[in-house]
Structure 1
């Protein structure tokens, strides 16, 4: 009886060990499967995030073949790695389809030529004052953009500490106002629907999106108080400082890449560089109200020309806004004599293109746009638009 009992216990132990071993093996296999499924889930996420068609297609093929379950199965036929997927187009079918396909029509619009020899004609006057203004408007700089096929006028309002846009939609004149918490002075185009604006008293440059309603994009804190600003490249700006007087080349985070303070016969040219503009050749035009001159600089700081005229009708007394046309001509406002002066691309005086007789009284910012129009900011709180074309 004892011997039989021991024999049965040995058989039971042997059977238990066998089944326990099998269960442990099953558990281990299950854990490995879970781990492999987790790894494949990570790979699938990576393939989807990579947006690579080859990666996505290869992962799909692996899942379809049930590669995870087939790991270690020698009977499963291996599938080669995809190296290339080729699309062969049926040229005949494509040609026949295109013959009947109507995609639309192409309209070609040519830029109107700004004829600076023509007599300017007043076309429109825009009052910068809008609802909610607590102070009289003081438009200091202006630019014009075409956003969603809508001509949009942008202006900095110094006293009301805001940037404003004016446009017409559905035959209705509309506006947008973006308060900045500081006094904006100058602005420049960055892209077809973005501008950068200097804010004087809080040492900031802000970027604004134009839809044509205005949306604040970013605020760049600067080490200096900048007034004039112009875009040089998609990644660099030029901005002018009054203290100390200089023109700085900045990156889009506000870091100063280069500071320029040119001299003329041993004396500093810059005293109050109020406005800047980029020429068609990539140089920088500076309007300086202290030395009463217009200066042209290369981005490296070399002086291309200076326009001084201390006496006579051609003398600059208080230069402010400055702009360059597509032909290279230069327009600069002269605040005290109430006029807009036309200079050649090399800085030679041509004529007073607009005067007090044209309604120009204490002008500041000026710009031109593709329809042959000249926009001038006046201290009275309006923007006058003149047609000057063939």
Structure 2
């Protein structure tokens, strides 16, 4: 019994030492986190101050321009006033001279005054003020509140990234929570859902899918305990979809070289059709006014504005060869990087919006990517990729 108790005591002391070491480590981490918090707080304030200083510099420039133009306009107006007052005095003097002549009994004085009026001397007095060229007609302050709102929305001071411990259990068995049948009445062909996204519109979870075979997109939602749906027909087969705003998505339509924007409320309403120079397949939203889209010909990822203009084209190279071959599925990480699922090169590529390669992932052997398709990243920083068997891919 004493021997057993001794072993128990030794086990307890071992655990005591482990916990004590863990507590000491946590105390150190707590102090470090307090220091890091103060540093991050300082960084946020510094970044905000820089943004405010930039706005104030623009304000100062605008005010200086306004003052310069306003001073010039007021100078012109004062010159007009001075010239007008001088003309008034001249007209008054001329009128007095004519009145004096009319009272004169000398016919020669009347004749000379008459001749002077006939020759236009009176009008010449009034037109003595010559008009300057390039005169200011008016000054107005014109502002585009929509453009300003978009700029403020796109302003990125930074993001708070939180990495949780042991949230995603890779060894756990996945559990099916439910299945959504995307076939609806009126479909002429078997539904083929290419891509999917989920939005919360006015508190309603809304699933938006692109149906390639039926050339439409659909939304599914539950309202008043009843499952409902809406359908929006498109000019050609839609491919990928991305959330642009809380109630707006963008969808690629490769065959017609288009990207369409659609409002989700939760029924679908077509907002705009954007014409593009390339056939884009993959798409993801970087900000509310910029998109990243993947093209197969040529293989690249383009950064676009909402009018379809290419701001930057990314074609990263490795050993002289383009890493991208078929960038068909894209998503944006919490840090603003672009994840690309490329089934042509059978790899995952992470790009910055500036075009730098963060990493490439192309494992071999049993873990090799077969035909990578849809891709997303979680709040924990994990990356999830779907795959389809080679036979299924070839039959698409």
User: Same fold judged by TM-score > 0.5?
Assistant: yes
Taking a change above 3 Å as real, the CA distance of residues 153 and 116 of structure 1, as seen in their structure-2 partners, is farther
- In 1: Cα distance, 2:278 partner to 2:348 partner: 22
- In 2: Cα distance, 1:255 partner to 1:328 partner: 31
Runs of 4+ off more than 4 Å: none
TM-score normalised according to structure 2 size: 0.56
**5 Å matches for 1:100-119?**
115-117=168-170, 118-119=172-173
From 298, 305, 327, the counterpart of 1:244 = 298
Tell me the matched-pair count: 229
Indicate the structure with greater helix content. Answer: 2
For structure 1, the residue ranges without an aligned partner over 5 or more in a row are 1-45, 47-112, 339-361, 364-378, 380-390
Aligned partner of 2:373 in structure 1 is: 320
TM-score normalised according to structure 1 size: 0.57
Describe the SS at the equivalent of 2:261.
strand
Aligned partner of 1:201 in structure 2 is: 255
Describe the SS at the equivalent of 2:255.
helix
Q: Is residue 2:360 matched to residue 1:306?
A: yes
- In 2: Cα distance, 1:170 partner to 1:162 partner: 26
Aligned partner of 2:77 in structure 1 is: none
Rg comparison, structure with higher value? 2
Indicate the structure with greater strand content. Answer: 1
- In 1: Cα distance, 2:346 partner to 2:267 partner: 36
From 267, 277, 281, the counterpart of 1:223 = 277
TM-aligned CA deviation for residue 170 of structure 1: 1.2
Partner deviation per Cα, 1:255-295 (whole Å, 9 max, x = no partner):
00110111112211111111000011110000111110000
Describe the SS at the equivalent of 1:122.
coil
Q: Is residue 2:351 matched to residue 1:297?
A: yes
Describe the SS at the equivalent of 1:333.
strand
Aligned partner of 2:228 in structure 1 is: 174
From 327, 336, 341, the counterpart of 2:389 = 336
- In 2: Cα distance, 1:169 partner to 1:315 partner: 43
Describe the SS at the equivalent of 1:201.
helix
Aligned partner of 1:134 in structure 2 is: 188
Aligned partner of 2:307 in structure 1 is: 253
Aligned partner of 2:337 in structure 1 is: 283
Q: Is residue 2:191 matched to residue 1:120?
A: no
- In 2: Cα distance, 1:282 partner to 1:179 partner: 32
Describe the SS at the equivalent of 1:271.
coil
Aligned partner of 2:148 in structure 1 is: none
Aligned partner of 1:64 in structure 2 is: none
- In 2: Cα distance, 1:255 partner to 1:331 partner: 30
From 276, 283, 287, the counterpart of 1:233 = 287
Higher-RCO chain (CA-CA 8 Å, sequence separation at least 6): 1
Q: Is residue 2:272 matched to residue 1:272?
A: no
- In 1: Cα distance, 2:167 partner to 2:219 partner: 23
For structure 2, the residue ranges without an aligned partner over 5 or more in a row are 1-139, 141-165
TM-aligned CA deviation for residue 311 of structure 1: 1.7
Describe the SS at the equivalent of 2:263.
strand
